[in-house]
Amino acid sequence: MAVKVSPVCYLLSHSGEDRSAVHRQLALLDRYHGLPNGMFSCDEHLAGLDPSHGSELCSIVEYMFSLEQSLAILGEPSFGDRLERLAFNALPGAFTGDMWAHQYDQQPNQVECSLHRRPWTTNGPEANLFGLEPNFGCCTANFHQGWPKFTSLFMLSDDDSLVAAAYSPCEVRTTVRGVPIQVREETEYPFRGTVRMTLNPASPLAASLLLRIPGWANGAIIEVDGKPEPTPAPNTFARVKRVWNVGDVVTFTFPLEPRVSRWFNQSIATERGPLVVAHPIGESWVKLADRGMTADWQVFPKSGWN
């Protein structure tokens, strides 16, 4: 939650120091505690770069909210990159698809989820289980906020432009410069690199559409009604300014070239767009205890993991 403190202070102070403090804070977290899934080690304590240390699910959700607020206040696209990395990797990695079981702590280097002792200073062995409220109930009360906090996909800028801040299939209805407008976004992002937006203003609308171009997106292509726009630079907001009419279509494509990043103890991560690739370990789910409508589970590997 503290990540958003300096941007919020900037709203009151308009101080350059408050504006830049969040970047120093994130750089320090990356340098000393950063993990490949976009989180930092925080199994209660900041714990260094070892990917066998974990991150609390509550912290993922609150970090997402802090990044979203920082993006809204400061208007810097790098916060959107961090937000998507969490939303597409760390957040869904910590609970089952039906959301009936979750982990208190997850680890990037997680080859089993069990009661075996972990290198944590405070959290108990149950923190690694999938269950109703493993270790402590705070994540049970908090983790459902993650997806709703991600759905602020569009924003309005201070010059009354419509801003695409993060990408996912959605529909937005709002008013820009006094004109009601609906935007329908169709995409399979982050698994595919193409996003298609259909704009339907109630009447012709002279305004800008700002598109966040991720820092990894070299050579992104933008087209409006089939006609190409100038190639945007990574880590910017591309401005498409025109008179919009019903049925105008903006299509943009991010090249999803695989990348390799280097981490703790000569380890590497393979990345593609905002996704961090995970090795598909076979899973053996062993019920530990029934919990009413749900249960607590240990998960053991049933295929090679190393």
0.75 exceeded by pTM: yes
Q: Average the pLDDT over 11-25 and give the result.
A: 96
Return the percentage of the chain with pLDDT > 90, whole number: 94
**Least-confidence region, from 145-149, 207-211, 218-222:** 145-149
Structure confidence at residue 306 (pLDDT) = 85
Q: Is residue 160 predicted with pLDDT exceeding 90?
A: yes
Structure confidence at residue 234 (pLDDT) = 98
**Least-confidence region, from 27-31, 134-138, 215-219:** 134-138
Intervals of CATH 2.60.420 along the chain: 154-253
Structure confidence at residue 117 (pLDDT) = 85
Task: Check if the beta carbon of residue 155 is closer than 8 Å to that of residue 166.
Answer: no
Structure confidence at residue 120 (pLDDT) = 86
Structure confidence at residue 211 (pLDDT) = 98
Q: Average the pLDDT over 203-216 and give the result.
A: 98
Average pLDDT score, the chain: 95
Q: Average the pLDDT over 204-228 and give the result.
A: 97
Number of C-alpha atoms within 13 angstroms, CB side, residue 36?
26
Q: Is residue 260 predicted with pLDDT exceeding 90?
A: yes
Q: Is residue 118 predicted with pLDDT exceeding 90?
A: no
Return the percentage of the chain with pLDDT > 70, whole number: 100
More confident residue, 121 or 75: 75
Q: Is residue 119 predicted with pLDDT exceeding 90?
A: no
Q: Average the pLDDT over 207-218 and give the result.
A: 97
pLDDT tens for residues 57-85? Answer: 999 999 999 999 999 999 999 999 999 99
Q: Average the pLDDT over 39-56 and give the result.
A: 93
CATH domain 154-253 topology: Maltose phosphorylase, domain 3 (2.60.420)
**Confidence tier at 121 by pLDDT (50, 70, 90):** confident
Structure confidence at residue 201 (pLDDT) = 98
Q: Average the pLDDT over 201-206 and give the result.
A: 98
Structure confidence at residue 44 (pLDDT) = 87
Q: Is residue 149 predicted with pLDDT exceeding 90?
A: no
